[in-house]
Amino acid sequence: MSSVRVLVGTAKGAFILTAAGARKNWTISEPHFAGWELYHLKGSPVEPNRIFASQTSAWFGQVIQRSDDGGKTWTTPDGATLPVPGEFPQGRSNRFLYKGEVGTHKWYDGTQHPWEFKRVWHLEPSLTDPETVFAGVEDAGLFKSTDGGASWTELPALRATKGALWQPGAGGMCLHTIILDPKNPQRIFVAISAAGAFRSDDGGVSWKPINRGLKSLYELPDPDAEVGHCVHRIALHPSRPETLFMQKHWDVMRSDNAGDEWREVSGNLPTDFGFPIDVHAHEPETIYVVPIKSDSEHFPPDGKLRVYRSRSGGGEWEPLTRGLPQQDCYVNVLRDAMAVDSLDDCGIYFGTTGGQVYCSPDGGDTWQCIAANLPKVLSVEVQTLP
């Protein structure tokens, strides 16, 4: 029988939750890297026992950790510290693991200004090669490793795509979403707050903004601005990678041509502000969001924690509440804190800033709290295991 492994990154360590396919009885690990921020953990779809983790500390900086035994033990791949200012010539490949030193390195990118590296927001392992992994960082940039995290090379053409016009969102100028097209190995989607969404069709050699149709009237004076939009998250279904769904700063959006054009599908949501968005594993038109009240009040409307599901790809939405707190609940769900498994009865998972992790083993119809007292949850990812 299949089982699931839920990888939870929190403000004070990482936790691994496991259960059999029925997803009723859960085991929670002791905290990994206790006391550190674990912004994101992600398992390789090729080698399920390989997991990458982004470990961050205000004192010791950024470290990438890797496990090759499903999280039982961890190692730091052999890497070098970031270069000091002035030691990063334009076009030079670079290792970016930061360990053992206090402070933040800066260097000149050869074209504009010193670039400050703060943390790794998102790790995305290759769909075909267990040694290849991508990393999105703050301030926004995209890196790639082809040796299991031992060395890293920036894909600099992304920052050259109108990067001088990018501005940080409230959480920083972070590259928080990386999606690899399962049908086209040369296609990569990324999202940056607050720059927008971008697509590469040649493996990261060149990029184009894909923000046409987005409106940010309160943030941008130009209603047709090509970059500068605060995109919170994008998602797609592997069987239909031309169709993208987006949770924007305001608005839930949809594209049916790989991001070339977007249209709003917020429909009857109680509010169109939120952070995560995800797609059912077997139903490419079934999507999930977690609305919160506003950009200044980061908690559920009316104090009721509700996941909303659309079975029509947006427009018509239904609240999913069975098993979720429906009074006095003022938590948030962050952009990387929702995931789905690939079991026959698709499981939906999310974590909250209050330290709860919820699972629905039936596509959202019912929910159970599978961890109640964790630190603030920053990310949730799921591995379906044989």
Q: What is the pLDDT of residues 144-169, one digit of tens each?
A: 999 998 888 889 999 999 988 888 88
| Tokens describing residue 247 | 């949770």
Which two structure tokens, joined as six digits, stand for 380? 């949730």
Any domain includes 113 = no
The CATH number that applies at residue 33 is 2.130.10.10
Residue 382 pLDDT grade (very low, low, confident, very high; cuts 50, 70, 90):
very high
Quick one: what percent of the chain has pLDDT higher than 90?
Answer: 76
- Phi/psi for 249 (5° steps) reads -50, -50
pLDDT of residue 322 exceeding 50: yes
Q: Residue 110 domain-assigned?
A: no
Residue 107 has pLDDT above 50, yes or no: no
In contact, 188 and 179? CB cutoff 8 Å: yes
Long-range Cβ contact pairs of 159-165 (< 8 A, separation 24 or more) = 159/109, 159/115, 160/111, 161/198, 161/207, 161/208, 161/209, 161/227, 162/195, 162/209, 162/226, 162/227, 163/112, 163/195, 164/112, 165/195, 165/227, 165/228
What average pLDDT does this structure show over 105-134? 74
Instruction: Summarize pLDDT for 242-265 with one digit per residue, the tens.
Output: 999 999 999 999 999 999 999 999
pLDDT at 103 over 60: no
Average pLDDT over residues 12-27: 96
Would you say residue 270 has pLDDT above 50?
Answer: yes
Please name the amino acid found at residue 327. Answer: Q
In a domain, 111, yes or no: no
Section 311-334 average pLDDT: 98
Amino acid 82: pLDDT: 32
- Helices (H), ranges, the chain: none
Is the confidence at residue 61, as pLDDT, over 50? Answer: yes
Res. 30: pLDDT tops 90 = yes
How many folded domains does the chain comprise?
1
Is the CB of residue 46 less than 8 Å from the CB of residue 126?
yes
Residue 233: inside a domain: yes
Cis amide linkage into residue 372, ω under 30° from 0: no
pLDDT at residue number 221: 67
21 to 72, 288, 347: CA distances (angstroms): 21, 22, 10
Q: How confident is the model at residue 1 (pLDDT cuts 50, 70, 90)?
A: low
Distance CA 6, CA 261 (A): 34
Provide the pLDDT for residue 112: 43
Q: For residue 379, what are its two tokens?
A: 């990310």
pLDDT interval class at 348 (50, 70, 90): very high
CB 352 within 8 A of CB 333: yes
DSSP for residue 310: E
* pLDDT reported for residue 102: 29
**Residue 14 tokens, joined:** 């990482």
Of 93, 39, 47, nearest to 63 by C-alpha is: 39
Q: State yes or no: pLDDT of 100 exceeds 50.
A: no
Question: Is residue 281 in some structural domain?
Answer: yes
Per-residue model confidence (pLDDT) at position 312 = 98
Q: How would you class 253 by CB atoms within 10 Å of its CB: exposed for 0-12, middle for 13-18, buried for 19 or more?
A: buried
Please give the pLDDT value at position 158: 95
Confidence band (pLDDT; 50, 70, 90) for 116?
Answer: low
Instruction: Please report whether residue 89 resides in a domain.
Output: no
Q: How does the average pLDDT of the chain come out, rounded? A: 89
Tell me the DSSP string of 66-128. EESSTTSS-B--S--PPPPTT---TT--------S--S--EEE-SSSSEEE--EEEEEEE-SS
What distance, in Å, lies between the first and last C-alpha atoms of the chain?
A: 7
Containing domain of residue 290, as a range?
Answer: 3-84+94-103+118-385
The answer to the question of residue 168 being in a domain is yes
Does residue 112 lie in a domain region?
no
Contact between residue 324 and residue 336 where contact means Cβ atoms under 8 Å apart: no
Helices (H) and strands (E) in the chain, counts: 0, 29
